[in-house]
Amino acid sequence: MGQTITEKIFSEHVGKKVYAGEIVRSPIDMVIGNDITTPISIKAFEDVGATKLANPDGFSIVLDHFIPAKDIASANQARISRDFAKKHKMKHFFDEKDMGIEHALLPEKGLVVPGDVIIGADSHTCTHGALGAFSTGMGSTDLAFAMVTGGNWFKVPESIKVVLKGKPGKYVTGKDIILELIRQIGVDGALYKALEFTGDAIEHLSMDDRFSMCNMAIEAGAKNGIVAYDEVTEAFLKEKNLAREPRIHYSDEDATYVQTVEIDVEKLEPVIAYPFLPSNGHSISQAVADKIKIDQAFIGSCTNGRLEDLKTAAEILKGKRVHEDVRLIVTPGTQRIFREAEKLGYIDAIIDAGGVVSNPTCGACLGGYMGILGDNEVAVSTTNRNFVGRMGSRSSKVYLANSAVAAASALTGYITDPR
């Protein structure tokens, strides 16, 4: 009986063939915490009397949500993780000295590797499935269990095969593909399932596209998103000092899928998710016809704060000026992305156009800081959620889009087709 890539990863980790629906106890290669969720994990770890991490090299803490600290409470919260990291001499602790949004930083550092089992106390941990790993979000106490034991319990998920066909047109990205998929199947259409992205379109999608797609698998209710290792993955990993040897798996031809969804990306326009669900997708043509006036354009987050996003924004903004009624906020995913964008002239193009560039942070995405929306304000945003009050006031509205749409809209004051 054939296996999916997700089933094979778990089989290798537990030492026997396993299939969807089975409950397994699996070792974990990388546990990821952040400044919001890790203090709860630390308390649970210490409450059970644990004194030593089971796998110290397989634990990373990334301070990224409210760093540099936005207020006294966030400063005190961050200190809990700092003190713990110092006490346990953690090798993989990241704060202002080497900062980045966790789901951009960890792949950059080579700390998440093909074939890994990865968990994090952040729902968008599924991002790392783009590398051909099993990666999922869990609760803070689940993290504590992994900190103590080095593993955790999983129900091996059933898989949905997402077949992507054709070559995407200009300014059609991984963000549009995942928004289209969520539009088709809904926010619970992949509940506790693996979304396995396949098809000939994959070869035309960069790692940044793939990270974006897997990042938002959770917005369809999925346990994980995953893309098989190929030449694009190999090129991305080539010069990185990887934490482990990649373990490469591919789904068998006779693997079992509970559903197959086909998307012809060649016919796809940029997709805009209207408030208040990521599944409320509309074509850019519809959004333009609806004349949606905006107050803010945001480019960043663990979904779309990568170098390609900044490059696209710079190309559209260069030599132009942000509309007088619009705030354009750009947040690079990591300091390295920031520096590379600066060398390539992207930062100058953004600032010259009237945009502001912040430090790497999750702040704006969750309505924390660095881009909060006021009453009745409207934003076009490259983030991953547009729930009521997600980026600020409960009367504000967030339209999810790709970076090209956000940049083009910043220039006109309305949601705009960048093509």
pLDDT at 10 over 90: yes
Which of 163, 220, 222, 223 has its CA nearest to residue 186? Answer: 220
CA distance linking residue 196 with residue 299, whole number of Å: 27
Task: Give the strand order in the sheet containing 93-94.
Answer: 93-94, 59-62, 30-34, 117-120, 134-137
Domain boundaries defined on the chain: 5-263, 271-412
Mean pLDDT of 365-388: 96
pLDDT of residue 390: 96
CATH topology identical between 5-263 and 271-412: yes
Fold designation for 271-412: Aconitase; domain 3 (3.30.499)
Which of 219, 218, 217 has its CA nearest to residue 227? Answer: 217
Using one digit for the tens of pLDDT, what is the confidence trace for 253-276? 999 999 999 999 999 999 999 999
Fold designation for 5-263: Aconitase; domain 3 (3.30.499)
CA distance linking residue 380 with residue 301, whole number of Å: 13
pLDDT of residue 229: 98
SS3 content of the chain, % helix, strand, coil (to 5): 35, 20, 45
Mean pLDDT of 326-350: 97
Angle between helices 403-412 and 307-317 (to 10 degrees): 30
Task: Give the strand order in the sheet containing 397-400.
Answer: 281-283, 271-273, 397-400, 378-381, 296-299, 327-330, 356-357
One-letter amino acid identity for 139? Answer: G
pLDDT at 123 over 90: yes
CA distance linking residue 152 with residue 97, whole number of Å: 31
pLDDT at 217 over 90: yes
pLDDT at 412 over 90: yes
Mean pLDDT of 43-65: 96
Task: Tokens for 33, please give them.
Answer: 């915490």
Mean pLDDT of 276-297: 98
pLDDT of residue 239: 86
Which of 301, 131, 107 has its CA nearest to residue 216? Answer: 301
